[in-house]
Amino acid sequence: MNSRERDTQALKNKKNELVSNFVGRSNLKATLQTLNTLVPVLLLTAAGVASTSVSYWLTAGIIVLLTLFLLRSFVLLHDCGHNAMFANPKLNSAVGFVFGVFCGMPQYVWSRHHDYHHSTNGNWNKYRGPLAVLSASEYAQLNDKQKRGYARQRRIWMGPLAGFLYFVFNPRFTWMKGSVALIRHMVKRIQQGDARSLSAAAEGFETPYWDNWKEFRHITGNNLVLLTCWTLATLAFGPAFLLVYVTALSLAGASGIILFTVQHNFEGSYASGDEGWDYHTAALEGTSYLKLPRVLHWFTADIGYHHIHHLSARIPNYLLRDCHHAYKDLFRNVPRLTLKDVPRSMQYIIWDEDAQTLITQAQFEERNLNNSVEGAAGSAA
């Protein structure tokens, strides 16, 4: 048994004990986290709008703070989606919906898709991360222009645009596009006399934007509440509201995408295919411990202890740190990253199926060059 297998086996032996010790959820702690996150979001938004008539430098500083609190809102939304914040499932659902409105993200739908990531963590044949990573064989099929475009879209400085699309634009656009298609479908069925009720008229409708009617209701609820709030705020405070809030939300989205990416994309990351994939090995070697300054751990609700979170998503964010320290011997070999490692980690955008890890473009090109040289040498011999 090698060291990897020994670590995995030790984790399996202790997992039930670990989870039972740290799975307890507290409505009080969750309520305090909700208040100390959403109240500052409201206050900072109001301050940001007011500051536009004083100094844009002041506005920029407030937007930075608002971005951090919106990032925290997203991580807490994520915790609610795992039913791991409040002890009461209904509270997780209700508060998760509220966080979803603040973040521009339909929480129920996002969480269902995120659950798939957890069930397949480390299996890059099934889930390729938020950057939609290509395998080495897929990347090899691209021409030079496509390779440059693929890399450019995944550069860290593209984060704000990705955040805007992910949090602000796409959830609204796909809802409206899907809703228009649904209405057309229903009108056509009614005109053809195939339906005697609205529910019957909707039968047979399919869209890539939601999987079932419960998802549609959550998407619709999120958008109606969000757009109503944004419209009323804009009417009350003017375009400055959108300037402040949309900018901060886009930056928070960028931070969230980068944060979740580097917790799985890094040098030497475990990246298996279907064959031989192991959930516990993925938690230990395919998930990083992102060690941040204490204040950033607070703003990210300790999601940097991502190896614990992937071991069991039932452990609430406010117990992740304690769990890590209580079982530190189990996690001594978990990959550790700091802020200075983030830019380099964002370069691991190719899945090497053969080596079962992630590589950079430079490593891909170097490997291909070496293979060409060896091939030429073999031909000459």
Over residues 89-117, the mean pLDDT reads 96
> Residue 129's pLDDT is what?
86
- 72: amino acid identity, one letter: R
Over residues 65-81, the mean pLDDT reads 97
**pTM exceeds 0.85 for this model:** yes
Confidence of residue 201 (pLDDT cuts 50, 70, 90): confident
**Confidence check: pLDDT of 194 > 90:** no
Q: Which two tokens stand for residue 42?
A: 């409201």
Confidence of residue 32 (pLDDT cuts 50, 70, 90): very high
Confidence of residue 2 (pLDDT cuts 50, 70, 90): low
> Residue 374's pLDDT is what?
58
**Confidence check: pLDDT of 381 > 60:** no
Of 5-19, 124-138, 174-188, 290-304, the poorest mean pLDDT is in: 5-19
Q: Which of 11, 40, 86, 102 is nearest to 318 (CA)?
A: 86
Confidence of residue 192 (pLDDT cuts 50, 70, 90): confident
Q: CB within 8 A of 16, min separation 6: which ones?
A: none
Over residues 143-154, the mean pLDDT reads 94
Over residues 71-85, the mean pLDDT reads 97
Over residues 141-154, the mean pLDDT reads 94
**Confidence check: pLDDT of 183 > 60:** yes
Confidence of residue 377 (pLDDT cuts 50, 70, 90): low
> Residue 63's pLDDT is what?
98
- 226: amino acid identity, one letter: L
SS (H, E, C) 216-285: HHHHHHHHHHHHHHHHHHHHHHCCHHHHHHHHHHHHHHHHHHHHHHHCCCCCCCCCECCCCCCHHHHHHH
DSSP letter (8 states) at residue 194: -
> Residue 8's pLDDT is what?
84
Q: Are 167 and 250 in contact (CB under 8 A)?
A: yes
Q: Which residue has the tokens 């002041």?
A: 58
**Confidence check: pLDDT of 6 > 90:** no
Query: pLDDT: is 238 or 374 the higher one?
Result: 238
Over residues 364-373, the mean pLDDT reads 76
